[in-house]
């Protein structure tokens, strides 16, 4: 059919329109983030019933109209039934979807963000790591997907690489790490400079550079998790400032 487009991805949000329809936002490999109208998706016998709900991965058949997409059909490829049984996981899941929706862009290749989201939701379901660690990993790797992430591979002051100099300080405002020599010798250091533990540095380097399938394969000591959570919170305050609705439910 004319104007028919296939796209694979996930429903990141949906809202009712009128009594029987829905408007869904999809994050897809082929089209980036798009919103689509799902006619009759609320009806119990609708073929679009499943696609009207977040956490649904599938192959979507879309009709491209003059100003918007209409969802024609969907073939579900992955579900998160286990995740949906645990209310805490559901709220974390909603938060991850909201972050992906916020940063996703139309007509941009969002494959990495999509894969990250899939693996993060699966990690939540597997429960091998705490939701707080999964959240931390997701937030840091999201910065990587956005292309605006802290420099944890070389010193922001002298430019020397991590293999030459131990990077033992961090400044959010300067955008990354400092070596001990720069910390000692530089007269005008950023006001927010703080010590960075070796474990925290390695975790940052690992999260930003490891292939996605290996991302959720480590644990952190509670004090390192706390150190990095505080660092990411400061980073967000300085560079984003955006407050997510789902964070209220997480009590953060
Ligand atoms: Zn330096």
pLDDT tens per residue across span 110-121: 999 999 999 999
Q: How far is the CA of 201 from the centre of ligand 1 (A)?
A: 15
Mean pLDDT of the chain: 93
Instruction: Give residue 172 CA to ligand 1 midpoint distance, Å.
Output: 16
CA of 173 from ligand 1 middle (Å) equals 16
Structural domain spans, the chain:
4-78, 81-252
Contact 49, 41 (CB under 8 A): yes
Tokens of 37: 């109208």
Ligand 1 centre from 180 Cα, in Å? 7
> Which pairing describes strands 69-78 and 32-38: parallel, antiparallel, or unpaired?
parallel
CA–CA gap between residue 229 and residue 62 (Å, rounded)? 39
Answer whether 177's CB lies under 8 Å from 196's CB: yes
Give the model confidence (pLDDT) of 33-45 as tens digits.
999 999 988 888 8
How close is the Cα of 162 to the center of ligand 1, in Å? 10
For residue 184, report the distance from its CA to the centre of ligand 1, in Å: 9
Q: What percent of the chain has pLDDT over 70?
A: 98
Distance 170 CA to ligand 1 centre (A): 11
Name the nearest CA neighbour of 27 among 41, 11, 16, 14: 11
- pLDDT, one tens digit per residue, over 150-198 is 999 999 999 999 999 999 999 999 999 999 999 998 888 899 999 999 9
Q: What is the mean pLDDT of residues 53-64?
A: 92
Within 13 Å of residue 188, how many CA atoms lie on the same side as its CB?
Answer: 1
Closest among 210, 203, 178 to 192, alpha carbons compared: 178
Q: Which fold has domain 81-252?
A: de novo design (two linked rop proteins) (1.20.1440)
160 near 132, Cβ under 8 Å?
no
For the domain made up of 4-78, give the CATH fold: OB fold (Dihydrolipoamide Acetyltransferase, E2P) (2.40.50)
Residue 238 alpha carbon to ligand 1 centre in Å: 23
Ligand 1 centroid to Cα of residue 48, in Å, is 56
């Amino acid at each position: 059919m004319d104007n028919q487009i296939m796209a694979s991805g996930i429903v990141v949000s949906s809202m009712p329109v009128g009594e029987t329809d829905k408007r869904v936002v999809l994050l897809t490999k082929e089209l980036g983030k798009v919103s689509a109208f799902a006619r009759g998706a609320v009806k119990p016998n609708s073929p679009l019933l499943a696609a009207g709900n977040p956490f649904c991965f599938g192959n979507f058949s879309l009709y491209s109209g003059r100003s918007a997409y209409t969802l024609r059909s969907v073939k579900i490829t992955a579900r998160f039934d286990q995740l949906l049984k645990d209310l805490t996981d559901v709220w974390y899941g909603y938060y991850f979807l909201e972050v992906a929706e916020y940063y996703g862009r139309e007509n941009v290749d969002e494959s990495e963000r999509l894969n990250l989201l899939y693996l993060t939701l699966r990690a939540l379901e597997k429960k091998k790591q705490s939701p707080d660690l999964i959240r931390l990993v997701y937030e840091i790797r999201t910065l990587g997907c956005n292309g605006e992430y802290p420099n944890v591979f070389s010193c922001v002051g002298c430019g020397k690489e991590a293999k030459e100099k131990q990077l033992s300080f961090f400044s959010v405002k300067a955008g990354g790490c400092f070596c001990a020599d720069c910390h000692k010798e530089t007269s005008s250091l950023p006001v927010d400079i703080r010590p960075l533990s070796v474990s925290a540095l390695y975790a940052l380097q690992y999260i930003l550079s490891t292939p996605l399938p290996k991302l959720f394969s480590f644990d952190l000591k509670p004090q390192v998790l706390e150190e990095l959570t505080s660092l990411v919170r400061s980073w967000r305050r300085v560079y984003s400032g955006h407050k997510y609705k789902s964070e209220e439910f997480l009590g953060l």
